[in-house]
Chain A
Amino acid sequence: MRQPSEQRRRLLQAGLAAPLISTLPVIAHAAVRPNAHVLPIPATIQQAAAQYFGEPLTAVMTSSSIALKVPSIAENGAVVPVTVMGDSGIVTELAVFVEKNRQPLAGICRLHNRTDLNVGFRLKLSRTSDVYVIAKTADGLIGERQAVKVTIGCMGG
């Protein structure tokens, strides 16, 4: 069809004209560093915590304040539902990472007055990897991780 391909050509032209480094706009409500997108990609969860939150992790994997719910075998790697549940009185902010994606950071949630910590969305996984969540509490950072196997629908090509 003529119309979609013209639109695609225009999109491609716009994409080439876009700046090479995309910078995260400064959001007044995010306590995570505003230049999160241009920082180098962290290799481990410790580096991720240090980069995005500026603090080392105090407790990894065993923490009763947050629970990470993600399927251990994902039917479709392009749509992997992740839910983070926990005590919103303790946790103010959380960041979800997918370890082996090109850009590990998947999302940052900041909770304000009316919301409970019961947040879910869907991720794209490029291959079998770990999904982890780092939450910021008053006492420091806590993390939780879960391995997800992906069999079909991987991102990339």
Chain B
Amino acid sequence: MSVNYTVRNSLKFRIGDEERGQVFKALIKHPMETGLRRDRRTNAFVPADYIRDLSVHVDNQLCFALVWNENVSKNPFLTFAFSPPIHEGQTIRVAWTDNLDRTMAHETVIKFSPQGFFAFDGQGDGQPEVTETVKVVPLSKKDQPACDKQVSD
């Protein structure tokens, strides 16, 4: 279980009870580049960089496996429900691999807070996420992306 994606706080998840059962919600910090976007300054394509597969294991048993590609949003959010619900003392492991072969995994033992949920708020160590500060230049009319402008049709 090697980990080589070291952005700080790159995984946050929470297990709590909702009407639809015991729900697992995770927010992963990842650029999820499609490979189709152009860098505004160099006009070259920003290379594709997206999470490819993700798996959740409870007590070393695979519970949920997900295969994603570039069509998933940046900083992906994931939610699903456990049934039967997980109880305290079980180990949960969330692991993902991206298309540049970086891996991230985190394993932790569940311990519910007095309010009845379990939250993991990210790894404290690691590099901070690199955010590029680019001066935003408004696009001219012809450079605007081709979106549907009308809402009612």
Contacts and interface: CB of A to CB of B under 8 A. Distances in A.
Interface of A: 1, 3-4, 7-8, 11-12, 14-16, 18, 22, 24-25, 27, 29-30, 32, 36-37, 73, 77-81, 83, 85, 88, 98, 101-116, 118-124, 127-128, 149-157
Interface string B117-153: 0000000000000111100000000010111110101
A116 B47 contact: no
B105 interface: no
Nearest to A118: B81
Contacts, number: 180
Interface residues on B, range: 35 or more
Interface string B41-63: 01011111100110100100111
Contact of B145 (A32, A113, A124, A157): A157
B107 interface: no
B38 to A, nearest CB: 6
A112 B64 contact: yes
Contacts of B65: 27, 29-30, 109-110, 112
Considering residues B65, B67, B73, B149, which has the most beta carbons from chain A within 10 angstroms of its beta carbon? B67
B99 A22 contact: yes
Interface string B20-52: 110100000000101111110010111111001
B4 interface: no
Contact of B63 (A11, A73, A113): A113
Counting from the closest, the 6 A-B pairs by CB-CB distance are A15-B47, A106-B71, A116-B81, A118-B81, A122-B73, A108-B67
B79 interface: yes
Contacts of B69: 37, 103, 105-107
